[in-house]
Structure 1
Amino acid sequence: MSDRDIFATDYSETPYWWRDAPLRELPRAEPPAACDVVVIGGGYAGLNAAMTLADHGRSVCVLEAQRFGEGASSRNGGMVSGGANVGKSTDLARKIGEQAYRELLLDARESLDHFERVIADEGIDCDHQPVGRFTGAWTPKHYAALKAKAERLSRDSGGKAYLVPLEQQHEYIGSERYFGGMVVERTAGIQPARYLGGLLDAALRRGVTALDRTPALGLSGGPGNFEVTTPSGAIRARDVLVSVNGYANTATRWERNRTIPVASDAIATEEIGEGRVRELFPQWHMMGETKRILNYFRPSPDRKRVIFGGRATFAADADVGRAARILHGRLVTIFPQLEGVRLSHAWSGNVAFTFRRIPHMGVHDGVHFCFGCNGSGVAMMSYLGHRTAEKLLGVEERPCGFERMAPLSLPFYAGRPWFLPAVGSWWGLLDRLERQAVGGA
């Protein structure tokens, strides 16, 4: 199959999720002269924060630089997890201490509670499918390491996790690529653009002023007397909450300098039918792997095609078509049965990593913030938006574990991760060497 033949005749370089949940353009409106709180960033975190603030009687204006959902909120894989992805570092508990790590797992568990409560209370139809997640072990050593992780997740994150030995792997995945794996039961799949649209409707019902295509150009003043500049004028506000993640700009410079925007690429296959998809995903699990440069993959919500994502390239502004070719190659390596299947969609978006590799929330110079989903943001950023709003309101029942550690930066770092191509090459080399050591490719 040639490079050109991998693309279907209706191939589109827009997120697959926009097919049945197209992004809306809101009616043009002038920003208010003043309000209680300006929220900068209209993704999962910003809209959850706005809802909580409005529920407590605050007047809220949410500024979104693009259309609502045009960033990571509709460019992700629609895989919902919490404790399974707290910290990508396997020795995080050793670094921060056992008690601090337990607090993170508690909040991770509560992030799933919050997400499920929001979609139930607001009646959001987002194809929520609580099917669990299978993580394939890249090497036998990785499989052995999953044992301790499964035990901790089962004990501390409120969801059952268990190992799947190699001899039972075919019951969970139609691939011979892994050395067994781990299942975490309390994870799910959703249609992320539908979830975002439901949050936007919920915020509007509460009287929140939502302005799309209205970036924050400047931020000055302090608590009780902030001024946020937009292309259409300035807004005076008692408080400001920033939740921009991988799309920070000069107006949110402090957050930008502590965020590593990483391009995450994704593809969707053409329809192949529920029967063929079931052969690949026997129990309809969301899926990932233990590699450093990992891939994630899942059935589409209608179970007729495959959604596949990962970091195809660590270069800035990589070509979407080039990334699609790389991901297609990985897809057929994992599932040789899909040789000859074409792609209907390919897209890319920024994921916000942090130098500690955990999310953060808190206050800096009077500005409340939350950012850093580290690749697992559907439930976590929804929750942190809500918790950050509670902190601003002074109604926290307890401190959030993710506000205990200040986010880090690097000397002279200004939000442009020039080091990523080198890091990606090094990680890729380590992945290959580990695999070769056990006779794999």
Structure 2
Amino acid sequence: MSYIDTFYRRTLADDKSYPMLSGHAECDTCIIGGGLAGLTTALQLARAGQSVVVLEAQRIGWGASGRNGGFVSPGFANDGEAIAKAAGIENARELHKLSIEGVWFVRDTIKELNIASAAPINGIMSVLRYSDEAAMKKRADYLTREFDYTVEYMDRDQVQAVLRSERYFQAVRDPQAFHMHPLNYLRAVSREIERLGGKIYESSAATTTDLSRPEKFVSTANGKVKARNVAVMTGGYTTGLIGKLKRSYLPIATYVMLSEEAPDLIRTAIRTTDAVGDNRRAGDYYRVVEGGKRLLWGGRITTRAASSAALAVELRREMVGTYPQLADLKTELSWSGLMSYARHLMPQIGQLQSGVWYCTAFGGHGLNTTAMGGKVIAEAILGQSERYKLFKPFGLVWAGGFAGLSVAQLTYWKLQAQDWWRERQA
């Protein structure tokens, strides 16, 4: 199985493949899923001396982990007030600290493994499409006061000096957040896992499990793994292997497009290397890539995967609506991917039973939270901490099946309408 055609596939630093599992393997921990969460867990366990086996149904980073926007910033898909309401104020503070820790974990891993091909670039701007100076200043003050995490408030003149759009008002710029090439990052992490003695198998989907005994068994089409621990670290492409996990999330599709090479035209609109995201529900996110030669633009969500080419037309409409000067900028490539969302919009991280762990539902804010989630699961397996219990208020609640998908789509359309109305009042 090859990677789908994306910007990241076209700029892959290496395309080493891993073998298919054939026969029997034994290890301390078997990890199902070769995305950001699974590889982070495998890396931390291998660093601690555990033997690990990673089973990936396709290729390392084949799913959302290797084809997303590349943003690495603190926070979750849900907002702070909703998290505090469900988990309590102090728990919410600890969760946000974990999300910051996830950012630093990715940054430190890039440095420690010298992953130049991840090409990290500092700076992410969160921009408003309506004026609310007080709210943005309050947000910046809160992060500094509560977490000693300094971000920069930008007024409208400062925003429009670098983002030449009448649609934008104030912003908060996070100089500690960054954006990167996620697939190259994953490939480098997989090489380190292998160097430490871990075994990685591609095209090796887990088909059945026997988790009833102290020694667990995970079977694929051509092999079987015996392990003391099993960690299920999957996302939008989760199968029905463990029904309780499959029923607890909704697969939500999002879309990305890549422009032609046109650095001079792009610079008439965007004069910053910062990544940018707006404040709408499922809003636009974008960044210049290849040294400003191209523009990578993402957004839109659907509850069923649609034609990425058709959705690229809608993305272009959003882009030109924001930047009319980019009307002649051609789209060269578009793609989509499935994210996993829980009904409560938080990651689902915990223990199913003795020796069986799960870490999933990172939709909308994956690069920092997958790293953090993988790290706390590794800590739990190693007996180093029980920080995974911070996520106990956000359990494996039923996502609603087909009805849940319909409700999610209707909710998205409703929120879009609210965004449209609010912006028209600006």
**For the superposition of Structure 1 and Structure 2, which TM-score range results when normalised by the shorter chain?**
over 0.9
Contact 2:162/2:271, CA 8 A, preserved across alignment: yes
User: d(CA) in 1 for partners of 2:118 and 2:198?
Assistant: 25
Give 2:138's aligned residue.
Answer: 148
User: d(CA) in 2 for partners of 1:408 and 1:149?
Assistant: 31
Residue 153 of structure 1, CA deviation: 2.1
User: d(CA) in 2 for partners of 1:267 and 1:430?
Assistant: 25
1:16-95 map, 5 Å: 16-21=7-12, 23-83=15-75, 85=76, 87-88=78-79, 90-95=81-86
User: d(CA) in 2 for partners of 1:220 and 1:28?
Assistant: 21
Give 1:6's aligned residue.
Answer: none
User: d(CA) in 2 for partners of 1:411 and 1:93?
Assistant: 21
Give 1:330's aligned residue.
Answer: 318
Change (3 A) 1:355 1:111: same
Counterpart pick for 2:160 among 160, 166, 170:
170
User: d(CA) in 2 for partners of 1:192 and 1:37?
Assistant: 25
3-state SS in 1 of match to 2:242: helix
Equivalent AA in structure 1 for residue 24 of structure 2: P
Let me know the Cα RMSD of the aligned residues.
2.3
3-state SS in 2 of match to 1:410: coil
Does structure 1 residue 124 correspond to structure 2 residue 115?
A: yes
Note the alpha carbon deviations across 1:179-205, whole angstroms, 9 max, x for none. Answer: 222212211111111111111111111
1:95-114 map, 5 Å: 95-114=86-105
User: d(CA) in 1 for partners of 2:343 and 2:403?
Assistant: 12
Segments ≥4 residues shifted beyond 6 Å: none
Name which of structure 1's ranges 407-416 and 351-360 shifts more when overlaid on structure 2: 407-416
Counterpart pick for 2:345 among 354, 357, 368:
357
Counterpart pick for 2:284 among 278, 295, 298:
295
Does structure 1 residue 258 correspond to structure 2 residue 248?
A: yes
1:356-435 map, 5 Å: 356-366=344-354, 367-396=356-385, 399-400=387-388, 402-410=390-398, 413=401, 417-435=405-423
Change (3 A) 1:379 1:354: same
Give 1:347's aligned residue.
Answer: 335
User: d(CA) in 1 for partners of 2:121 and 2:410?
Assistant: 37
3-state SS in 1 of match to 2:401: coil
Contact 1:13/1:320, CA 8 A, preserved across alignment: no
Contact 2:255/2:336, CA 8 A, preserved across alignment: yes
User: d(CA) in 2 for partners of 1:29 and 1:371?
Assistant: 23
Equivalent AA in structure 2 for residue 328 of structure 1: R
Residue 71 of structure 1, CA deviation: 0.5
3-state SS in 1 of match to 2:362: coil
Residue 315 of structure 1, CA deviation: 4.1
Contact 1:23/1:70, CA 8 A, preserved across alignment: no
User: d(CA) in 1 for partners of 2:173 and 2:353?
Assistant: 42
Equivalent AA in structure 1 for residue 296 of structure 2: I
Residue 257 of structure 1, CA deviation: 1.7
Residue 175 of structure 1, CA deviation: 1.4
Give 1:192's aligned residue.
Answer: 182
Structure 1 residue runs of 5 or longer lacking an equivalent are 1-11
User: d(CA) in 1 for partners of 2:24 and 2:37?
Assistant: 22
Note the alpha carbon deviations across 1:36-94, whole angstroms, 9 max, x for none. Answer: 211000011111111111222222110101111110111101111124x4633654334
Does structure 1 residue 217 correspond to structure 2 residue 207?
A: yes
When normalised by structure 2's length, the TM-score is 0.92
3-state SS in 1 of match to 2:216: strand
Structure 2 residue runs of 5 or longer lacking an equivalent are none
Note the alpha carbon deviations across 1:371-424, whole angstroms, 9 max, x for none. Answer: 22231211221221122011011122x624743424242375389723332122
Change (3 A) 1:355 1:417: same
Contact 1:136/1:290, CA 8 A, preserved across alignment: yes
User: What is the number of equivalent residue pairs in this alignment?
Assistant: 422
Equivalent AA in structure 2 for residue 363 of structure 1: Q
Give 1:7's aligned residue.
Answer: none
When normalised by structure 1's length, the TM-score is 0.89
User: d(CA) in 2 for partners of 1:417 and 1:173?
Assistant: 35
